[in-house]
Amino acid sequence: MEILYNSTRSKKSPVKASEAILKGLSEDGGLFVPERIPALDKSLEELSHMTYGQVAYEVMKLYLTDFTEDELKNCIEKAYDAKFDTEVIAPLAEADGAFYLELFHGATIAFKDMALSILPHLMITSAKKNNVENEIVILTATSGDTGKAALAGFADVDGTRIVVFYPKNGVSPIQEKQMVTQKGKNTYVVGIHGNFDDAQTGVKRIFGDKELAAYMETKGFQFSSANSINIGRLVPQIVYYVYSYVKLLEEGRVKEGEQINVVVPTGNFGNILAAFYAKQMGLPIDKLICASNENKVLYDFFTSGTYDRNRDFVLTSSPSMDILISSNLERLIYKIAGDDAEKNLDLMNELKQTGKYSITEEMSLQLADFYGNYASEEETAQTIHDLYDRTGYVIDTHTAVASCVYKKYKKDTGDEKTAVIASTASPYKFTRSVMNAIDNKYDDMDDFELANKLSELSGVAVPEAIKEIAAAPVLHDHICDRSEMKQTVMDFLGI
């Protein structure tokens, strides 16, 4: 059955999946959501014998209903190939009583590769399907990982250009080096004076500029997004939760239908929203455990029913979660408001005007599937240290936030169900924070020396992504004020 996509902010005519992917954001500023969540149409037993690519097709075909079988399979084959350092694509590692879903085996060693490896192919296919002749300009804000993964995905893809904005002093040295050394004649990387929320707000403002869109059209350009606000990013993320469950089933770790808990470190809420969608599709997930760092706006929301971004912004060792405006939460708010665009719009306007909003008691009752908690900087470091000490397994700072929160959840509830923890980045992406947590005696080494030492300790080879950037030249050194983002984009496009 065909699935169309509605805006979270109005009752405009719904659009097809390919149109939603091309637009990225609705003209009214809303996010595209499927008019209904489809149910899995293969049994978990059937899915358990499939490869990652095959599971991806079975999940994504249910959402991207205007793609032909050949079109979708072609996109999947191009995405999940030798760019990943394991044929499994997303392996599960058992450590200290939980299963870590390793989502960092792609080209940029972070979970964003799981969706951004396929998004360029979905977008180009969508453009052809809709007879789009304009050059597509991908506009993206990043808190660290999306930027490099999007750049790598779209580099030298015909018919596209990509502009990435990142907070100049708000990402790790490895994350920054990955971005500023990116090759590709259609790539542009800009550091802004400000934090991620400033970058994200600036990008949304450009998307909402109707005069600019009309002017771009006359010049043969149109904007789209590679952020998780794009439904073409969100749908591929659902896949790995389904895949993790059916692999546990295949290995006899769970019985068919047995519930598991899923733990996700999240700032922008897209990654855990994908798990929520997987549950809505029929995947046997009990609790969705939302792990925050010291920017704990989501934890406060789940405990109080009030979303309040009026607080100090904290720079932490898990920078991809240093976010106070969780864009994807809007999709959940729309859902628990009964798919009521008007009600959602009122809340989003309240957030824009006052920096906060509160949901009703009726809406709060629909959040029973979620548990929220957070980890302090000290707890994050201690979790890395203790897990390595007990098992020899090394995790990055974001995964450590999730691991710490999972322990808090078990202590609070006594729930011992099988747990899958989304391991969102390789420890090599945050070598200094990880190595300092294990032992601060390595503090005088540079980041690339630390990578070699981490390899010695963990027994895991230094990823190619790190080796490649060690001596790579800086190709992007543009910095701008947040007020200059629009002009910066126009300058890059030469218009």
Rounded CA-CA distance 388/485 in Å is: 42
Per DSSP, the three-state class of 147 is helix
β-sheet bridge partners, residue 479? 191
Rounded CA-CA distance 93/52 in Å is: 16
Give catalytic status of residue 112 as yes or no.
yes
Instruction: Quickly count: other Cβ atoms within 10 Å of residue 166's Cβ.
Output: 26
Cα-Cα-Cα-Cα torsion 7, 231, 274, 421, nearest 10 degrees, comes to: -140
First to last CA, the chain: 43
Per DSSP, the three-state class of 159 is coil
Q: Which amino acid is at 238?
A: I
Q: What is the DSSP string of 404-438?
A: HHHHHHHHHH-----EEEEE-B-GGGGHHHHHHHH
Helices in 44-172 by DSSP H: which ranges? Answer: 44-47, 52-60, 69-79, 112-116, 119-129, 145-154
Tokens 């960092």 — which residue? 104
Show the beta-strand stretches assigned E in 226-278: 260-265
Rounded CA-CA distance 406/348 in Å is: 30
Q: Are the C-beta atoms of residues 331 and 31 closer than 8 Å to each other?
A: yes
Handedness of CA 56, 322, 478, 470 (dihedral sign): negative
Roughly what angle, to the nearest 10 degrees, separates helices 377-391 and 397-413?
90
What is each CA distance from 312 to 144, 325, 397, 411, in whole angstroms?
20, 12, 21, 29
Per DSSP, the three-state class of 163 is strand
Rounded CA-CA distance 488/485 in Å is: 5
Strand order of the β-sheet with 135-141 is 221-225, 135-141, 160-167, 187-193, 478-481
Here the tokens at position 230 are 């794009």
Which of these is catalytic: 23, 112, 177, 279? 112
DSSP 483: G
Q: Would you please indicate which residues are annotated as catalytic (active-site) residues?
A: 112
